Structure 1
Amino acid sequence: MPFKALWVTETETGTFERTIVERLIDDLPAGEIVIRVHYSSLNYKDALSATGNKGITRKYPHTPGIDAAGVVEISRNEQFAVGDEVVVTGNDLGMNTCGGYGQFIRVPAGWVVKRPSNLSLKECMTIGTAGFTAACALYKMELMKMNPAMGPIVVTGSTGGVGSIAVSILSKAGYEVIAVSGKTNALEYLQHLGAARVEDRSFVADPLKKALLKPKWAGAIDTVGGDTLVTLLKACQLEGSVVSTGLVSSPKLDATVYPFILNGVNLLGIGSAETPMAVRLIIWEKLNTDWNIKDKLPVIAKEVTLEELNSTYIDSILQGKIMGRIVVNLNNL
């Protein structure tokens, strides 16, 4: 059966080209589950794969898309029946396995989660890997005994995919959220998502490079890295937790051990792609119930076609121009 997919190829001169082509299900990699993809989403990692970053995707030609939500078309696993609505995020999807920017994917059954009962397929993709990462961050913070009574939580890069969902679920869970953004037009958007305060990037800067700072927050979910992450650690209160989820600014961490050995601060990492299935199911159930933010998702999501994704939005996310989440509709191409 032919279907349409975004196809990234490497030219003889080492450049990369993107086109929308027809492919066959028989050409997809091995796996027990074939899924007709209804929606995907755009993550920073997808844009890197789509522009030839071999740290993300080793071999081309390739179809990116680390997220997919759709309906089981073929199943060779008793846990899933034809017609089941399902979600796939992370693992190797869209990295070295043809991903959600095609109308069909074929994947191992161990990658597949049944659609949470209170979320539609589109809502699951508005959350996607970005929102799943944000939820993993809060889940891990609460494993370290974080709770709303401890004080405010800072979210950096708060208008991005991870940041937007982080602000929303933290607010839903009862936390006071300080949203940090460099976008001057973000105030109304972030307040709607539940931010109690919106601050400029200077709020999480330390130009004097002090070893420690006066405590200002109970914890943070950081998408920026670099000096911002260092400042978040230095101004975190006793026994607080800072979660590192991204490296928009820098992958380097030029820090001392003082926040850890004097204030007992926890630096937590999230590798959402490799989340064990048992934990993955817990996170999705929280997003389905206690952390259900479906009332916020229409504001966070912008729905686009595969053609629009290719022509505009892949480049826009690399340029830092995206607010919220881009959801890709693969129906009726």
Structure 2
Amino acid sequence: MEAINRAFQLSEEGDNVTGSYINKEKIGLKDNEVRVQVKYSSVNYKDALASEKSSRVVKSYPIIPGIDLSGVVTESKHPSFQSGDKVVATGFGLGVSRDGGYQMDAVLPGDWLVSLPKDLSLKEAMVYGTAGFTAALSIEAILEKGIKPEDGKVLVTGATGGVGSLAITMLKEKGFQIVASSGKGDEITYLKELGASEVISREDVLSDKNRMIDKSTYIAAVDPVGGNTLASILSQISYQGVVALSGLAGGTNVDTSVFPFILRGVSLVGIDSVQYPIEKRAYIWKQIETYAKNANLKTLTKEIDLTEIEEVFTKFKTEKVVGRYVVKANE
């Protein structure tokens, strides 16, 4: 044990989970582990769920949450990294089964790390973070189906959230016409500033939701919502279109039929950013580096420090979050 590590920790107290700001001793490295001076993390919906025992997001408490981080290597027992390297980490067990990004000093397996692209700053990396990584995977799923901007409109649900907001900026960079759906009717200006050409309500997406097949409206969709929203989207996707599904904010059950799949050849692609193979991650981060060059990141970013995390958790739980919250862990 050595030195002191400032962190935000969740602990179990009966049926409740409470947060506290602690000073804990730094731990030593095992083989293939890396010590990272954390510069930034971010707040994601999954992080907020970690503070609720009933969510079962966390394997066991106490734990330092934060499912992503960026920082600088200060010590390494992994052959791929050395002191001074700038790195980024998302997913795997970070902030779920192993202490995550809400600390000044993190120790984690080197196999969870990706070298930061040279034209992407440590802060920009966490403006994107897990949400941006998920959005980028969603865009890749659409592009891999051969869908082009001239093929039609792309729907983005949960558009004011992290995945939705960043997906809009990415699709804009690719030249797509974007329809943004949100339950926050007062955020039209925000969504258009990001790149949406049209903004509709979540109720507009759910209209005629009982139809097994509806009018062909969108060639593709990025959906971090799921539930009834997904069922309605599937019925409105055009021939050989695709839906990239990455979330469950709208529920886990989907009441749909086979008709979108067998009459229109619609593809439903599940997006998993947690276990995505490490050998493929560098490519996705290179795509994010490209997206970041022209994106209006200031519009969607708010910076906080470790002491403000619980307040932001509350905003997530009450659906008051717009854009991205970046956590500054170190100067």
TMscore range, shorter length:
over 0.9
What is the letter of the counterpart of residue 168 of structure 1?
A: T
Q: Deviations over 1:234-289 (max 9, x none)?
A: 01000000111111111111110100011000001001011112321111111112
What is the letter of the counterpart of residue 6 of structure 2?
A: K
- 1:304 corresponds in structure 2 to 304
Relative to structure 2, which stretch is displaced further, 312-321 or 159-168?
312-321
**How far apart, in 2, do the equivalents of 1:208 and 1:100 lie?**
40
- 1:267 corresponds in structure 2 to 268
Q: CA deviation at 1:299?
A: 1.2
Instruction: Report SS of the residue matched to 1:154.
Output: strand
Instruction: Report SS of the residue matched to 1:65.
Output: coil
**How far apart, in 1, do the equivalents of 2:306 and 2:117 lie?**
25
Q: Is 1:122 paired with 2:123? A: yes
**How far apart, in 2, do the equivalents of 1:328 and 1:77 lie?**
27
Relative distance call for 1:265 and 1:90 in structure 2 (3 A) is: same
Q: Deviations over 1:93-149 (max 9, x none)?
A: 011100001111111111101111111101100000001100000101111112112
Aligned length: 329
- 1:324 corresponds in structure 2 to 323
The answer to whether the Cα contact below 8 Å between 1:153 and 1:176 also exists between their aligned partners in 2 is: yes
Relative to structure 2, which stretch is displaced further, 319-328 or 293-302?
293-302
Relative to structure 2, which stretch is displaced further, 143-152 or 118-127?
143-152
The answer to whether the Cα contact below 8 Å between 1:156 and 1:163 also exists between their aligned partners in 2 is: yes
| Cα root mean square deviation, aligned | 1.5
**How far apart, in 2, do the equivalents of 1:309 and 1:160 lie?**
17
**How far apart, in 2, do the equivalents of 1:218 and 1:29 lie?**
49
**How far apart, in 1, do the equivalents of 2:19 and 2:4 lie?**
19
**How far apart, in 2, do the equivalents of 1:263 and 1:316 lie?**
39
Q: CA deviation at 1:293?
A: 4.8
Work out the percentage of aligned pairs sharing the same amino acid: 37
**How far apart, in 2, do the equivalents of 1:54 and 1:149 lie?**
41
What is the letter of the counterpart of residue 244 of structure 1?
A: L
What is the letter of the counterpart of residue 7 of structure 2?
A: A
- 2:151 corresponds in structure 1 to 150
What is the letter of the counterpart of residue 118 of structure 2?
A: S
**How far apart, in 1, do the equivalents of 2:173 and 2:300 lie?**
15
**How far apart, in 1, do the equivalents of 2:100 and 2:292 lie?**
26
Q: CA deviation at 1:27?
A: 7.2
Q: Is 1:3 paired with 2:5? A: yes
**How far apart, in 1, do the equivalents of 2:127 and 2:30 lie?**
26
- 2:195 corresponds in structure 1 to 194
**How far apart, in 2, do the equivalents of 1:147 and 1:63 lie?**
42
Relative distance call for 1:200 and 1:165 in structure 2 (3 A) is: same
**How far apart, in 1, do the equivalents of 2:125 and 2:315 lie?**
22
Relative distance call for 1:319 and 1:27 in structure 2 (3 A) is: farther
The answer to whether the Cα contact below 8 Å between 2:27 and 2:107 also exists between their aligned partners in 1 is: no
Q: CA deviation at 1:189?
A: 0.8
**How far apart, in 2, do the equivalents of 1:133 and 1:230 lie?**
21
What is the letter of the counterpart of residue 9 of structure 2?
A: W
Q: CA deviation at 1:296?
A: 1.2
Unaligned runs of 5+ in 2: none
Q: TM-score, normalised by structure 1?
A: 0.95
Instruction: Report SS of the residue matched to 2:27.
Output: helix
What is the letter of the counterpart of residue 320 of structure 1?
A: E
What is the letter of the counterpart of residue 239 of structure 1?
A: Q
Alignment of 1:110-259 (within 5 A): 110-207=111-208, 209-259=210-260
**How far apart, in 2, do the equivalents of 1:29 and 1:176 lie?**
49
The answer to whether the Cα contact below 8 Å between 1:167 and 1:193 also exists between their aligned partners in 2 is: yes
- 2:71 corresponds in structure 1 to 70
The answer to whether the Cα contact below 8 Å between 1:29 and 1:97 also exists between their aligned partners in 2 is: no
Instruction: Report SS of the residue matched to 1:273.
Output: coil
What is the letter of the counterpart of residue 10 of structure 1?
A: E
**How far apart, in 2, do the equivalents of 1:15 and 1:127 lie?**
31
**How far apart, in 2, do the equivalents of 1:254 and 1:208 lie?**
10
The answer to whether the Cα contact below 8 Å between 1:119 and 1:294 also exists between their aligned partners in 2 is: no
Q: Deviations over 1:127-179 (max 9, x none)?
A: 00001100000101111112112111000010000000000000111111000
Unaligned runs of 5+ in 1: none
Relative distance call for 1:39 and 1:282 in structure 2 (3 A) is: same
What is the letter of the counterpart of residue 163 of structure 1?
A: G
Instruction: Report SS of the residue matched to 2:81.
Output: coil
What is the letter of the counterpart of residue 314 of structure 2?
A: D
Alignment of 1:271-286 (within 5 A): 271-286=272-287
What is the letter of the counterpart of residue 84 of structure 2?
A: G
The answer to whether the Cα contact below 8 Å between 2:32 and 2:76 also exists between their aligned partners in 1 is: no
